[in-house]
Structure 1
Amino acid sequence: MQPVRPTLPPTQGPGPTDARPVSLWARDLPADVSVGAHSHAWGQLTYAHNGMMRVSAQDSSWIVPPQRALWIAPHVVHEVTMLEAACLSPLRIHASRDPFGGERCRVVEVSSLLRELIAALETGEQPRDPGRAFLLGELILDELARAPSRPIRVPLPRDKRLKGLCEGLIAAPGDTQTLADWARAVGASERTLARLFDRELGMSFGQWRQQVRLAHGACLIARGLPLWQVAQQLGYASQSAFTAMFRKTFGTTPSAFFAGDRGLKN
């Protein structure tokens, strides 16, 4: 059984307007707390400049490090769980200025310029100098539209038995229990769970666990953890086994995938 995390309400405060289409409302959050399921009339770029978080929306989950952010379109219900203590700094973007043409959720790479623009908006430019805040917002929207996408997505199930299994593996991606082990834990037969994986997630148990491990691994690599430690934490027998799986999924090595990120170690 997974521990119950404290659940916080979403941040309050004014949303974006036609005159100021980008706004920001930041707050410091400790690890292991969740911002409960909610939605907004505006779009949101879910971003934290330090620490890692997990965002759930549209029957999917994304693990987001500081080098990434997740776009969530207006009216999409989502939940944020802090995997590490961080300053959560979501950008609120007016629905009429959607930078991704109606796409519901999208992982984007946060460039150095975008990171500095967000920091400038966060440090008090909004109330102190509305004109400058507007210009910063326009630059942010322009940079967002150019940001590369990083599609590291983990689909989530609706079935309660499968949901408990999946939440357990997301919390502990290095877990090596077999599907038969999990079947005993959740009170279902191995055949039933295998059928549910295929029906609800469109993949096998092994394939889904691989997606979870790769999502966690990408975040650990982005934070600068050496590849051998990443492989060890995720339950791979060796660094080469993890690299082979990464290459099979993304068509490139971890080093090439994160060539633009800071702090990459091999």
Structure 2
Amino acid sequence: MSNLRPTIPRQVLPAPDGFEPTPERPITLISRDLERSDSLLPHRHTWGQLTHSIDGVLRVTAAGSTWIVPPSRAVWIAPGVEHAVTVLASTRLRPVRILAERAPFPDEACRVLEVSTLLRELILALEQLPPLASSPRATLLSELMLDELARCETRPIRVPLPRDKRLQCLCARLIDAPGAPLTLADWAGQVGASERTLARLFEKELGMGFGQWRQQVRLAHAAPMIAGGMPLARVAEELGYASQSAFSQMFRKTFGTTPSAFFAGQ
């Protein structure tokens, strides 16, 4: 099965204070290299944050949802929004901190952004600057990055999370093993609730049925697999589909295009 499954987690403290953005330097960046299964406990910042990694795969959880994030994407987290990060494949984490007053989006919604070539290069250039020093170059990079962020395309792969503890147990296990073939009746026997109760909870708390929610989970895991060059036949097998064509058909139905076209140029 997929090598994206977490093993025994190691809790890692959030980056220390001292690199906060300021009006003179509205964007700062922290470099952190983390190992698979490292996790940052839920925390929040007074600044906005673009959670991005140069390589590896992250799981970012915030505002009642979770996202699987490969290097081709980043998650925008608004100021004051609690979030947590789990490393699914060893990563060079490069979170970009943005002064709250200069946030590129007007609301508190989290957004999954497609990392353009320009944005990726701007992040790498920002990393080369002294962390807090203001300079004409830092100002130019910051302004260009803010402009580019507002132009980045968004991706709709989102996995909502429940509040009910029985449903939390089921969902957490399925996120860890998206290819599990268990039916809702099978899960009912493992989490201490009837199939009918679980079906009702999925609709009430997540706004969708079990099959649709599981599909979202599988799509989220498919993103880093395909972007990393894994053959579609193996992706389909890892995620529990009977064939590559079945996976591709589901993908096209969801996004209106094939997986290859969707990830072209990633």
* TM interval, short-chain normalised: over 0.9
Q: Are the counterparts in 2 of residues 125 and 132 from structure 1 also a CA contact under 8 Å?
A: no
Match of 2:180 among 175, 178, 185: 175
Once the two structures are TM-superposed, the CA of residue 124 in structure 1 deviates from its matched residue by 3.4
Match of 1:10 among 3, 10, 14: 14
Runs of 4+ with >6 A deviation: none
> Quick one: which amino acid aligns to residue 8 of structure 1?
V
What is the aligned partner in structure 1 of residue 110 from structure 2? 105
CA RMSD in angstroms, aligned pairs only: 1.4
Q: Residues of 2 paired with 1:53 and 1:150: CA distance?
A: 16
CA distance in 1, matches of 2:11, 2:131: 28
Q: Is 1:82 matched up with 2:87?
A: yes
Matches within 5 A, 1:46-85: 46-85=51-90
Out of 203, 208, 213, the residue aligned to residue 208 of structure 1 is: 213
Q: Is the 8 A contact 1:175 1:235 kept in 2?
A: yes
2:238 is aligned to: 233
* Partner Cα separation in structure 2 for residue 42 and residue 104 of structure 1: 14
From 23, 29, 43, give the equivalent of 2:28: 23
**Which range moves more in the overlay, 109-118 or 70-79?**
109-118
Is the 2:69–2:224 contact (alpha carbons within 8 Å) kept by the matching residues of 1? yes
Counterpart of 2:3 in structure 1 is none
The answer on whether the counterparts of 1:126 and 1:133 sit within 8 Å (CA) in structure 2 is no
Give the percent of matched residue pairs that are identical in Structure 1 and Structure 2.
62
Aligned to 2:123, the other structure's residue is in SS state: helix
Query: How many residues matched?
Result: 260
> Scaled by the length of structure 1, what TM-score is found?
0.94
Equivalent in 146, 162, 179 of residue 141 of structure 1: 146
> Comparing 63-72 with 123-132, which one deviates more in the overlay?
123-132
Alignment-derived partner of residue 45 in structure 1: 50
